[in-house]
Amino acid sequence: MNTESSPAQTPPLPPERQPALRRWAAALRRIRKTSLLVALGFVVMLGLQGVLIHHGITRLQAIGAAMDGIARVAVPAAQLAQDMQNAVQNRIIYMLRMLAQPDPLEREPDAQAFEREGLAFGAARDGLAALPLDASERRQLQGLLEHAVLLSRSQRAVVQALLEGRDEDARAQILADTVLERQRELVTALRELAAGMRLKATQTVDHAHRLQSQAEQVVMGLGVSLFILGTVIGAAVTRTTLRAERMLHAEVERNRHAACTDTLTGLYNRRGFEEARKAALDDDSPAPYGLLLMDLDHFKPINDSAGHDAGDAVLQKVARLLTEAVRPHDVVARLGGDEFAIFLRDAPADVVDDVAQRIVTTLGDFTFEWKGQRFRLGASVGAAVFDAATAKDCWTAVLKAADQACYEAKRQGRGRYARAAAIGELVSPTA
């Protein structure tokens, strides 16, 4: 058997894809013409860069000023939050002083001071609410105000009881409403709000100045870079054009390969097999050729009992076994389902018989395991031997002869091959 390797046959580009290739070539010519316009466009860009730099710096300065304005909002917000905190703390102090004063008549000044702090709290609250706070700060403020309203009601009830001399009722009200604990919680929350706004003010100012400084440096650096870019733009355009050429060529190859390849097994599909067969016959070699058509035996039970995933795994394994069983320059294809074809170059009858028998033996010995189940396979192979002239003129007859030989192998009990002695005649394999 001739086992000498020859270069793999690349399927030729099908005729129906020739118009697409011509369109890609035309697009490439347009790219070359466009490269000149691109270069001229960059010249204009260099002329505009001065305007761009001036405009960019002006805008960045305006952004810095606007961010400073935002910071000026944050600063009074922090102060107002601090005023609210101070008012709450002072109300606590005045209420406790009234509680410590044994004479109800002496409690009136502290009660008036308590009310003044309430007014101060309200003024700071209204001022803070009027500022353009973000959504998170506004939700935080709303929660604090709801807490403050409920606490103020309890405080007023305590103060009123103290003014009327009902000290025991006041103490009971403080304990029942947990006034002191709620006051401490409100003070802590206001302290956190004020600290957060002070931090935001500081961070906003620092960020604004830092961003402005960095942006000015970037714009100036960009201007220098644009001048450098102008000197190398011609080379970049040329490189882009060459890259486009390579991409187009690679796309052609990818499309051709995808159109001729069976996605499940990686073998040729029917179209790829026909193109490879025609390319091989174009060599006009006087040596005979061989065709093997193969159907898997006992494949349907695997699909029925183990599922299509198992069937796909079987087909992928069979594809690898077939590739290993044939010679390097033979063409293996999956025509569809469990039907495979092998086109043999430089293959007299004894070589065809040898390859067919090797395939039958290999698949007959193969046991497929899937999730604890074991399956035996086999193959029925039909073979035909022919010359180039016969294949070119009567390829349908060659296919029919190989198909009839495959049917004969099945009829004889499967797991074997049969070869047509001539187109239209069959020879059974020897035992």
Spatial separation of the C-alpha atoms in residues 429 and 356, rounded to whole Å: 10
pLDDT for 402: 92
pLDDT for 341: 94
The residue to which tokens 């009902």 are assigned: 166
Spatial separation of the C-alpha atoms in residues 42 and 46, rounded to whole Å: 6
Most confident of 93-97, 170-174, 210-214, 342-346: 342-346
Average pLDDT of the chain? Answer: 78
Global pTM? 0.48
Q: Return the closest-CA partner of residue 384 out of 341, 414, 413.
A: 341
pLDDT for 287: 84
What would the mean pLDDT of 288-296 be, rounded to a whole number?
92
pLDDT for 350: 92
Q: Return the closest-CA partner of residue 358 out of 264, 292, 273, 269.
A: 292
What does the domain layout of the chain look like in residue ranges?
47-220, 270-420
Spatial separation of the C-alpha atoms in residues 211 and 420, rounded to whole Å: 84
**Position 187 pLDDT exceeds 90:** no
**C-beta neighbour count of 74 within 10 angstroms:** 23
CA distances from 56 to 51, 205, 216, 227, 385 (A): 8, 21, 8, 17, 79
What would the mean pLDDT of 386-413 be, rounded to a whole number?
88
Percent with pLDDT over 90 in the chain:
17
Q: Which amino acid is at 146?
A: E
CATH of 47-220, one of 3.90.950.20, 1.10.3720.10, 1.20.120.1730, 3.40.50.150: 1.20.120.1730
pLDDT for 132: 77
Q: Which residue has the higher pLDDT, 214 or 138?
A: 138
**Position 186 pLDDT exceeds 70:** yes
CATH of 270-420, one of 3.40.630.30, 3.40.190.10, 3.30.465.10, 3.30.70.270: 3.30.70.270
